[in-house]
């Protein structure tokens, strides 16, 4: 049985293409791995906070030296890291907004980036510690960014591949629903994206 974590980062609610595409990916995974446990986390609904100086400071304090106030500050990050490490498969909804990911998704990344826990340093530099995960990204965009002139402005897929890879999550596949605002493309964009889904 697999443990699936589905992250939602769109502010569009039920109208969100990335949530719909993410759910389609989850369904494909559940078909392949019947009985899998599904955990959904809507980063907008939980109002995930941006890092503050107080929270960041606690990341570098040994656990046995944390004060009660420090423990409260770091609890949110600890829970997100625990949730991530427990998952076998992670589905990330990542709509392209102003050429990049939503700020709530960036906040999630900031909270799970923990030296000594999700990454460390070896003789040859940084070493990711979040190993053995399969990551699927449900990326949606109004324009076309996988090819053509828009490709240079795609800071979603390259960023997620690079940074999640830094944490050890190198097995990452991106499924795109793109051209959702482009005439003669938008009519079939979601259908085409869902048909492209193949899971390992």
- pTM of this prediction? 0.95
Q: Are 55 and 74 in contact (CB under 8 A)?
A: yes
How far apart, in whole angstroms, are the C-alpha atoms of residue 55 and residue 87?
A: 24
> What are phi and psi for residue 37, nearest 5 degrees?
-85, 135
pLDDT confidence tier of residue 14, bands split at 50, 70 and 90: confident
How far apart, in whole angstroms, are the C-alpha atoms of residue 11 and residue 45?
A: 9
The percent of residues above 90 in pLDDT, for the chain, comes to 92
95-147: per-residue pLDDT in tens? 999 999 999 999 999 999 999 999 999 999 999 999 999 999 999 999 999 99
Whose structure tokens read 């494909």? 28
pLDDT confidence tier of residue 39, bands split at 50, 70 and 90: very high
Q: Are 87 and 5 in contact (CB under 8 A)?
A: yes
* Distance separating the N- and C-terminal Cα atoms of the chain: 14
pLDDT confidence tier of residue 90, bands split at 50, 70 and 90: very high
Q: Are 185 and 144 in contact (CB under 8 A)?
A: yes
């Amino acid at each position: 049985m697999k443990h699936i974590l589905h992250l939602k980062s769109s502010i569009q609610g039920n109208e969100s293409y990335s949530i719909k595409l993410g759910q389609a990916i989850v369904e494909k995974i559940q078909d392949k791995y019947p009985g899998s446990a599904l955990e959904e986390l809507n980063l907008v609904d939980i109002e995930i906070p941006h890092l503050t100086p107080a929270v960041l400071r606690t990341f570098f304090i040994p656990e046995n030296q944390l004060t009660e106030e420090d423990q409260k500050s770091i609890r949110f990050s600890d829970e997100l890291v625990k949730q991530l490490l427990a998952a076998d498969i992670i589905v990330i909804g990542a709509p392209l907004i102003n050429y990049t990911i939503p700020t709530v998704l960036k906040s999630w990344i900031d909270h799970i980036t923990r030296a000594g826990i999700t990454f460390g340093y070896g003789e040859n530099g940084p070493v990711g510690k979040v190993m053995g995960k399969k990551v699927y990204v449900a990326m949606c965009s109004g324009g076309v960014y996988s090819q053509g002139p828009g490709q240079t402005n795609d800071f979603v897929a390259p960023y997620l591949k690079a940074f999640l890879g830094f944490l050890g999550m190198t097995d990452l596949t991106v499924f795109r629903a793109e051209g959702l605002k482009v005439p003669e493309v938008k009519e079939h964009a979601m259908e085409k994206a869902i048909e492209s889904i193949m899971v390992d």
